[in-house]
Amino acid sequence: MKLPNITILDEKDKRLHQKSEDVVFPLSKEDKQMIKDMIDYLTMSQIEEEREKYDLRAGMGLSAVQVGVMKRIFVIVEETEPEKFKNYIVINPKILSHSEEQIFVGEGEGCLSVNREVDGIVPRYARMTVKAQDMDGHPYEIRVREDISIAFQHEIDHLNGILFVDKIDPKNPYKNQKNMREI
């Protein structure tokens, strides 16, 4: 696999704090290529040999804004078994419903745009239903749970100009932890 030619923006880049625009269909050739490149990058970042070869940080989600494109597109690459992946391509997402139960990532969330250790937890919904469009513009609904629900919320935040570090209370980074379930 060849490393795609994408540059991931650092958290200091002001574009990461801007709201992305809705996507108009049909997708351009450039948008289709960007989606393929983001999926390839994330897949390679999760394969140890590729990660070491190209000095990549492991990631499972990437939004268009993180590669400098201000469109409401994100991809998630989930490793379902060793070196077997399920890809989610999400365009113009809207959260239709979510659980009351909240969860958080025990070791803390990470982000390919945040190149530092961050203490604290980010409250996330344990389950949600999202309406989105596929690459052809066809609408679909998807119910996500646990780590995929967290990944969807993390990427939707990106599309709204929010980084996970913005959601951590600087005075009390573990605030309300006892009211949530750790995963």
Q: What is the pTM of this model?
A: 0.96
> How confident is the model at residue 1, as a pLDDT?
80
pLDDT tens track for 80-105: 999 899 999 999 999 999 999 999 99
DSSP secondary structure code for residue 148 in this structure: H
> How confident is the model at residue 46, as a pLDDT?
96
pLDDT tens track for 150-177: 999 999 999 999 999 999 999 999 999 9
Helix intervals (H) in 47-139: 48-54
155 is catalytic: yes
Which is the catalytic residue, given 49, 146, 155, 182? 155
Q: CA-CA-CA-CA torsion for 42, 157, 93, 179, nearest 10 degrees?
A: 100
pLDDT tens track for 30-51: 999 999 999 999 999 999 999 9
And the tokens for 166?
């913005």
Its CATH class, for the domain covering 14-182, is alpha beta
And the tokens for 17?
């704090």
